[in-house]
Amino acid sequence: MKSLICPIIILIIISCTQQDIMIGRNILIKEFPQEINLSGEKLDITSIGVNNIFVVDTFLICYKAMGLDEFFDIYSTNTYQSLGKFLSPGRGPNEFLNATYMGQHFKDSSNTYMWIKDEALMKLTLFNLTESVKQQKTIIDSCIYLSNSCIGNNYIIGDTLISIVNSSSDLFLSSYNLQKDSPLEQPIIMFRDPLKNIQEYIFGMNIQIHPNRTKFISAMSNFNQINIFSPNFTDITTLSIYKPTISIKEISLTPDIERIRYYSNVFVTNSSIYALYINKPTSIWREHEKSIEIQEFTWNGTPVRKFTIPNDIIYFTLDQKHKYIYGFKDNEEIYKYDISNYI
């Protein structure tokens, strides 16, 4: 692995009015103070039909969106041995028509849990990962049935459910009191498309919540921008990467096939944000043969370093215990990258 240290250049702009989507405290990041070149090792994992991968505690989860069999194939990050298949498709007890993990998990003294959403059945379930592996069957400890207004990404913060919804022309955030079964306030417009690109959904993004649930981060698909914000969307920092954020007008005038796919997913820890920067045309982003970047930031928006990876991965996750990045390729191969010197 090679490490390149260079000076950091940050331009901070305090926005008084909304100019496109560079809102709040906007930071233009022109470079990273450290660049690390990583080489990978292919894992001998042979799950079929995998769409994405996650690491939760000491579990490597291969996610299969099609629901032809169980949604989760789970492996140990200690041995890479299979620990079983979980979350069966169907309408019965502890079954799912679809299963979406939005990054929210937690541990108690005995078990590790994941919040899993079934958008089709409009329910948010607490999947007991530890007990499921022990008993070799899907264990659901609780279930919250959602109203039709709770579409999009959902996050539990105490007694509050936060929903972040990407509509055809707006991205908005709403809060819902789970105890009183009622909205807390009117939805907050996070980003608005003044051009009204109907059915475009240009504000697509990958969202994660800080482990202590005090901040969100979103890395945008169509814009070279990362957003860090409070649950009520009052404390906002936007990061424009390498150049000022592309305008909505420019995106609207660019054919879909020629639009750049900037970010594909993110991973967060207590201290850092990691974002996979693809920077390839939408038509080839899943099949490119060029290197990509995983960019690391603090939760204040300060760039830390970037990892350059030669393999054409499209998603990634991070194993904090063993200090590996796992990269997932479109051909379903999984690679691991040692970052023990940087975490």
Task: Transcribe 167-219 into DSSP letters.
Answer: -SSEEEEEEEETTTTEESSPPEEEEE-TT--TTT-TT-EEEEE-TTSS-EEEE
Q: Could you tell me the two tokens for 267?
A: 């991973």
Q: What is the Cα–Cα distance from 309 to 274, expressed in whole angstroms?
A: 14
Q: What pLDDT score was predicted for residue 168?
A: 65
Strand partners, 205: 220
Which pTM does this prediction carry?
0.91
Torsion of CA 130, 136, 137, 138, to 10 degrees: 30
Q: Could you tell me the two tokens for 333?
A: 């191969």
Q: What is the Cα–Cα distance from 125 to 97, expressed in whole angstroms?
A: 13
> Residue 314 in 3-state DSSP?
strand
Strand partners, 118: 123
* Beta strands 188-192; 205-209: pairing state: unpaired
Q: What pLDDT score was predicted for residue 6?
A: 41
Instruction: Report DSSP state, residue 244.
Output: S
Distance of CA 7 to the CA centre of its chain: 29
Q: What pLDDT score was predicted for residue 7?
A: 41
> Along the 343 residues of the chain, how does pLDDT read in single tens digits?
444 444 444 444 434 334 578 889 999 999 999 999 999 999 999 888 999 999 999 999 999 987 678 999 999 999 999 999 999 999 998 999 999 999 999 999 999 999 999 999 999 999 999 999 999 999 999 999 988 878 889 999 999 999 998 876 788 899 988 888 788 878 898 988 777 764 567 888 999 999 999 999 999 999 999 999 999 999 999 999 999 999 988 888 888 888 899 999 999 999 999 999 999 887 777 766 678 999 999 999 999 999 999 888 999 999 999 999 999 998 899 999 999 999 8
Q: What pLDDT score was predicted for residue 151?
A: 83
Q: What pLDDT score was predicted for residue 9?
A: 41
Q: What pLDDT score was predicted for residue 3?
A: 45
Strand partners, 165: 172
